[in-house]
Amino acid sequence: MQKTNDKPWTEGKLYSFLSAALKGISQVMLIENALSGLIILLAITTFSYTLGIIALLSALIGTLIGKIGGMERETINQGLLGYNSVLTGMALALFLTGPNDWIIALAGAAVAGVLTASLMHVMKGTGIPVLTLPFIILTWFTIMAAYRLKVFHLTSKLVPENIAYWGLDTSGRIDWAEAAFNGIGQIFFIHSPLSGFLLFAAIFVAGWKLGLYAVLGNALALLTAYFLGGEHNPIYMGLYGYNAILAVIAVAFVFKDISNRFSLFSGIIAACLTVPLAASITTLLQPFGLPTLTMPFVLSTWLFLGARKILPNL
């Protein structure tokens, strides 16, 4: 009799765990939807099966940290402990090389779960969400550690550059359609039309308004970067688009109060603001060879969410 009851219980627990892990993947785009998480995982895997495996394992690790640590079940089931682990695992797998890169990437995913919980506690009194700050901190610190510790080996993508010799190159033609798909793909460090299409599909599955905001944020970033005279290659690669997509979704939809009359307008400004922020942060980090990551999104979103504490109509 005991065995008959155990099986459904175990299956239910496993389903709940996997669902939370998939939501952890979808929460990278501020979505709580297991099906969206599965489509996102497919988008990553079609670009690189290695990155797909890393993303899934990182999501499972982040969720497991919450389970073992005794976090509230509702928070775990929302995927709120998984998304920073997903991004950290993927980033370290891409930016590091050598025999230990997978071990470091998955260890980073575990630490990201702990750091996320820690920062959630530190910032809970402010009413401002942690967003992707744990991922940014861990990735930057791990990359910097590579200059002092032999076990970390950086890829050739991360090369410190002297900004005194930097020249702005705005030549070349932009493929706007591909740039649009690259913009959303760069949220997960990927760039291909198929992957980009699947990522847009994942957002629309979660809600048509979310999908429209993602399209709007992407378009705003492309136009803002172009009219501000940005380099064509970063525009084409989507390096201005991904932060804008996350910012408009966060400010105009996810963290808006029902009484916010100008939330869409605020989201539009937040999305446009990520472009000069991305340009300035990229320049600031260039001498250290550090990637910009999602810092423009975090700063732009915090600006508006903080201002709403005093200016509630924004």
Q: 131-167 pLDDT, tens per residue?
A: 999 999 999 999 999 999 999 999 988 888 887 777 7
CA-wise closest residue to 190 among 109, 96, 93, 300: 93
Q: How many CB atoms lie within 10 A of CB 123?
A: 14
- Residue 37 has what pLDDT? 98
Instruction: Enter the CATH code of domain 1-158.
Output: 1.10.3430.10
Q: What digits encode the pLDDT tens for the residues 191-230? A: 999 999 999 999 999 999 999 999 999 999 999 999 999 9
**pTM more than 0.85:** yes
Q: What digits encode the pLDDT tens for the residues 67-106? A: 999 999 999 999 999 999 999 999 999 999 988 899 999 9
- Exposed/middle/buried for residue 1 (C-beta within 10 Å: 0-12, 13-18, 19+): exposed
Rounded to 10 deg, the angle between the 49-69 and 83-95 helix axes is 140
Please provide residue 285's backbone torsions phi and psi, each rounded to the nearest 5 degrees: -90, -10
> Domain 161-314, what fold?
Ammonium transporter fold (1.10.3430)
- Residue 260 has what pLDDT? 76
Domain with CATH 1.10.3430.10 in the chain: 1-158, 161-314
% of the chain exceeding 90 in pLDDT: 81
Q: CA 154, CA 161: separation in Å to the nearest integer?
A: 15
